[in-house]
Amino acid sequence: MLCEILSVGTELLMGQIANTDAQFLARRLAVLGITMHRQTTVGDNPGRVKEALGEALSRADLVITTGGLGPTEDDLTKEMVAEYFGLPMELHADSLERIAAFFRTVGRPMTQNNRKQALMPRGARVMPNRKGTAPGCIVEQGGKIVAVLPGPPFELTDMYEQQLEPYLLARSDKVIASRFLHMVGVGESEVETRLLDLFHSDSPTLALYCNPGEITARMTVMCARGEDPAPLLDPLEREIRRRMGSAVYAEGIDASLPKEIVRRLTARGETLATAESLTGGMLASQIVDVPGASGVLTEAHVTYAVAAKARVLGVPQDILDTVGPVSEACARAMAEGARRISGAHYALATTGLAGPGGGTEETPVGTVWIALASAHGETQARRLSLKSDRARIRAMTCLHALNLLRLHLDALDTEEK
């Protein structure tokens, strides 16, 4: 099945919001073995929506639209689908009652324009909205399928998982199975060089996806529904792990370094504290974003001012007066101080210059020191020279700090075996 996504919303075209709906759908459709060659974004204009829909249907068997299902006059996606197929719009009584019940539950009057959300193309398969008011629908005609989904990601995700995906699964006897290996501390060119010959296989296929500081290798194979893909994917995964070594930190589509740190510390029954300067709490926030972080993170200190480093963490004044706060000595003292006052097994510290101003010839913007104090060995420190803007320097600092801890845990695991 060939699919296209048609995202409707002027706010998407203007860059006011990111199109996370299309990203979510593309990932989930790939797992079903549904091929996608194009994604289109169009504003809230009836003519352009209908034109884009016709172009997509001329190429694809399935078109999934997102957005344009609300009660306002510019929400016209369903209407354009109906018009394209020559279908009248009809009131769907169950949807109207669901919408009315929603307003009764929240204690607000239901304005007349909300009835519009209950209008459906004749013969459409209605998908109730369990998380909002606007139902979706599926229209089948002439061998073509259009699935109409709401725009809010919370609503779209639930409707897809509970209703559209089961519908699509019933129509296919093939699935695409994928595995994702996440790597950190190596660049794209190095990864490609090490794995170059593996990209030439027809099945499984291998592709790389790059994020700041991280590389994800996707291994993909198409197989019959119910067939175990492991015998096809296992050899490739083993070979990638052999070649990339410690750069591989996790497997899974939604894996991340903070999640891996929380998982591993939880398994070890150990805790972490942070002492941050230039990252301003970002490092602790990334940990807290992970469910289960409460069993791992004991406390977090943002000692942005020089005086706070001495007063809160006990950084010796002579270090601050001589080599200064952006130094190996200061990073080490921050980490050791955080571990001492928290009683945690580990403490990570960050200090440096995120810019855009404040740099010197000896210590330019992007100079960062990270440190790890551990109950299992000597304090480690690393200097980073990051060439980017303020936001990315801070984000990359967090990534490198977490990876420093991850590598330390790797070494401990090796010693304990």
Domain boundary among 169, 194, 222: 169
> How far is the C-alpha of 30 from the C-alpha of 25, rounded, in Å?
8
Would you give the distance in Å from CA 114 to the centre of its chain?
33
Helix (H) or strand (E) holding 261: helix 257-268
Domain containing residue 309: CATH number: 3.90.950.20
Residue 223: predicted pLDDT: 86
Domain boundary among 169, 189, 204: 169
Are 17 and 74 in contact, with CB atoms under 8 Å apart? Answer: no
Say yes or no: 195 and 158 in one domain.
no
Domain boundary among 235, 251, 267: 251
Helix (H) or strand (E) holding 359: none
* Residue 165 φ then ψ, to 5°: -60, -45
Residue 35: predicted pLDDT: 87
Domain carrying residue 183: 174-251
Say yes or no: 78 and 134 in one domain.
yes
Please tell me what DSSP assigns to residue 321. H
Say yes or no: 141 and 54 in one domain.
yes
Query: For the chain, which residues score pLDDT lower than 50?
Result: none
Residue 294: predicted pLDDT: 97
Q: Coil, strand, or helix at residue 125? A: strand
Say yes or no: 217 and 262 in one domain.
no
Say yes or no: 88 and 150 in one domain.
yes
Residue 74: predicted pLDDT: 87
Provide DSSP, 179-233: EEEEEESS-HHHHHHHHGGGGG-SSSEEEEEEETTEEEEEEEEEEETT---HHHH
Say yes or no: 160 and 238 in one domain.
no
pLDDT in tens, 45-78: 999 999 999 999 999 999 999 999 999 988 899 9
Say yes or no: 277 and 412 in one domain.
yes
